[in-house]
Amino acid sequence: MSRLVQIRSSLRPDGKHEPIVPADVSGRFTRARRVVFFVLIWIYAALPWVHIGGHPAVFLDLETRHFYLFGGIFDARDVWMMTFLLTGLVFTLLVVTALLGRAWCGWACPQTVFVDGVYRRIERLFQGSREVHRRRDAGPWTASRILRKIGTHAGYAIVSLLLANVAISYFVSLPRLFQMMQRSPAEHAEAFGVMAVFAGLLYFDLGWFREQFCVVMCPYGRLQSVLLDQDSLVIGYDEKRGEPRGKLHAEGAGDCVDCNRCVAVCPTGIDIRNGLQLDCIACTACVDACDEIMDRTKRPRGLVRYDSQRGLGGGKTRLLRPRLALYALLLAAGGGAAAFAFSRHADIEAVLTRLPGAPFSVDGDQVQNSFELLVTNKRSHAMPLRVEGEAPAGAQFILPQGSVTLAPLEQMHRPLFVRVPRGATGTAAEVRLRVLDDHGSVVARATAPFLSPPPVAP
Ligand code: SF4
Ligand code: SF4
């Protein structure tokens, strides 16, 4: 099993946080990550604008309590499906982590995407390079320092407000959001309060807390030591090749010239040469930084690289291994269950529930059961629907207004009385209804037991 050590690099011995200013870095992974961040940020901002089937691609409508997901419409009765979705995500994360280590943290986690892709760039714009920034911060409070701090924090605040409004647009429709923006906050104090608190949290977390969130708070980060094994892909330092570290051309020295570039660029402030660490978010900055040094010193790249711990130790990485097979099996089982659950999700839903009171009533030779029929149209267009009784055979179905056109997301509640001649059914009969569209196709069914008194003894 892998061993992760924790070296709290951004915490001073007195427990205070030491703000980290990573040095600039360029290289193939840095460029690739910028492209990924750009795409992910655009997806995040664009999803409420993209409409599928007349509704935003991802939208949790708090007013009507409906959830729109890529053309599907879900309501409170579909919450059970979230179990499958969440377990599917957990199993996916297990497999991805066992295979690719903390790839999620370095490439796709919103914390990393927004800190590295937006907030650090604002900081770089106003404060300059690491050297200039640190030198200025160590000096007196000059006008330039004050103005640059104001510029940086104003930038953070504006972006935090923008991101918070984008987040709100996942819960409040865009026309309504624009309407709210043009009015006084007092007219929608609740929504404004939520937005302001969220913007404040973003400002605090992405502008200041940053890597501490990954190190101290993120539960996924804490699970790394049990999820990773010797064959998981990690970012590591090739100790055999690099040690003993020393000056370029020093006799007996390894390939590491001890330039500290890998430490200077690290956003969590750790030294990758100390081994695999909990604080490493696999951001690849040290890989690009060291490759640049290897290029300059005319040595092969990859002293710091993506590899497994077994590979870094000189062994051969095994792709197929029991742990991965187990995770893959769990993922397949979870995926199968999720696919089954989603395939059962109906966009026209019919539910038959027994009305409170006596389970049946006897009127002469007729036994009557009373129900409430609920039909929901979860399609994005109006649906003309007709309800027909199928069973028990010979039953009389008394349903006021059996044909109706339901608007999108409209529900129909109707009392339904089913009458059957006494003795015509056993005690375990079933009421079956079908809902048909205007083409006569069955779009939903509903069933409920039909209860009768015990047969009269001869
Ligand atoms: S960047 Fe490479 S050469 Fe420089 S200290 Fe780090 S591992 Fe050694
Ligand atoms: S050690 Fe390297 S990969 Fe890990 S967080 Fe620091 S710079 Fe990123």
User: Over the stretch 379-438, which tens digit does the pLDDT of each residue have?
Assistant: 777 889 999 888 788 888 988 877 888 887 788 888 989 998 887 776 668 899 999 988
Instruction: Flag whether 388 is in a domain.
Output: yes
* The model's pTM: 0.79
157 falls within a domain: yes
3-state SS, residue 457: coil
Q: Is 264 in the pocket of ligand 1 (CB under 6 A)?
A: no
Give the residue numbers spanning the domain of 143.
28-74+109-209
Q: Which range has the worst mean pLDDT, 90-94, 129-133, 236-240?
A: 90-94
CA-based nearest residue to 232, from 307, 315, 325, 314: 307
Nearest ligand by distance to the CA of 293: 1
Domain stops at, among 156, 181, 209: 209
Query: At 356, which CATH number?
Result: 2.60.40.10
Dist. CA 366 → ligand 1 center (Å): 89
CB atoms within 10 A of CB 400: 8
Note the pLDDT tens digit of each residue in 121-166: 999 999 999 999 999 999 999 999 999 999 999 999 999 999 999 9
Question: Is 185 domain-assigned?
Answer: yes
The band of 63, judged by pLDDT with boundaries at 50, 70 and 90, is confident
Q: How far apart are CA 75 and CA 282, in angstroms?
A: 38
Decide which of 159, 178, 209 is a domain's last residue.
Answer: 209
Residue to substitute in 25, 293, 296, 305 for testing ligand 1 pocket (most ligand atoms within 8 angstroms of CB): 293
pLDDT, tens digit, for every residue of 303-329?
Answer: 999 999 999 999 999 888 888 888 888
Residue where a domain terminates, one of 172, 188, 209: 209
Digit-coded pLDDT (tens) for 170-215: 998 888 899 998 889 898 898 899 999 999 999 999 999 998 888 8
pLDDT above 90 for 61: no
Q: Does residue 86 surpass a pLDDT of 90?
A: no
Residue 89 pLDDT: 81
In a domain, 380, yes or no: yes
Whether pLDDT at 84 is above 80: no
| Domain membership flag for residue 288 | no
HSE at residue 189, side-chain half, CA atoms within 13 A, is: 1
99 vs 142: CA distance, rounded Å: 50
Partnered with residue 446 across adjacent β-strands are 433
Q: Which residues contact 243 (CB under 8 A, 6 or more apart)?
A: 254, 256
- Per-residue pLDDT band for 234 (boundaries 50, 70, 90) equals very high
* CA pseudo-torsion sign 260, 7, 152, 180: positive
Enumerate residues lining ligand 2, CB below 6 A.
Answer: 235, 265-268, 270, 272, 280-286
Please tell me the predicted confidence (pLDDT) of residue 11.
62
Distance CA 108, CA 118 (A): 14
d(CA 457, CA 279): 79
Helices (H), 276-369: 285-296, 309-312, 322-343
CA of 458 to the centre of ligand 2 (A): 86
Confidence of residue 15 (pLDDT cuts 50, 70, 90): low
Is beta strand 348-354 parallel, antiparallel or unpaired with respect to 442-450? Answer: unpaired
Is 256 a pocket residue for ligand 1 (Cβ < 6 Å)?
A: yes
- Angstrom CA distances, 187 to 181, 193, 297, stand at 10, 11, 64
**pLDDT value of position 377:** 87
> Is the model more confident about 130 or about 342?
130
User: Ligand 2 atom closest to Cα of 265?
Assistant: 7
Return the pLDDT at 1.
40
Domain count, the chain: 2
Give the containing element (helix H, strand E) for 429: strand 429-436
Q: Is 361 left (phi over 0), alpha (psi -120 to 50) or beta?
A: beta
pLDDT at 82: 75
Whole-number average pLDDT of the chain:
88
Tell me: pLDDT of 292 over 90.
Answer: yes
pLDDT of residue 456: 65
- Alpha carbon nearest to ligand 1 atom 7, residue: 256
With a CB cutoff of 8 Å and minimum separation 6, the contacts of 37 are: 113, 116, 117
**Residue 421 domain-assigned (yes or no):** yes
Ligand nearest to the CA of 295: 1
Confidence (pLDDT) at 458: 59
Spacing, Cα 260 to ligand 1 middle (Å):
6
The answer to whether residue 457 scores a pLDDT higher than 70 is no
Q: What is the pLDDT of residues 38-53, one digit of tens each?
A: 999 999 999 999 998 7
Has residue 272 got a pLDDT over 70? yes
For ligand 2, the distance from its centroid to the CA atom of residue 281, given in whole angstroms, is 6
pLDDT more than 90, % of the chain: 46
* Structure confidence at residue 298 as a pLDDT band (50, 70, 90): very high
Three-class secondary structure of residue 368 per DSSP: strand
pLDDT classification of 4: cutoffs 50, 70, 90: low
Measure 131 CA to ligand 1 centroid, in angstroms.
19
Q: Is residue 136 part of a domain?
A: yes
User: Pick the residue with more confidence: 16 or 105?
Assistant: 105
242 is a domain residue: no
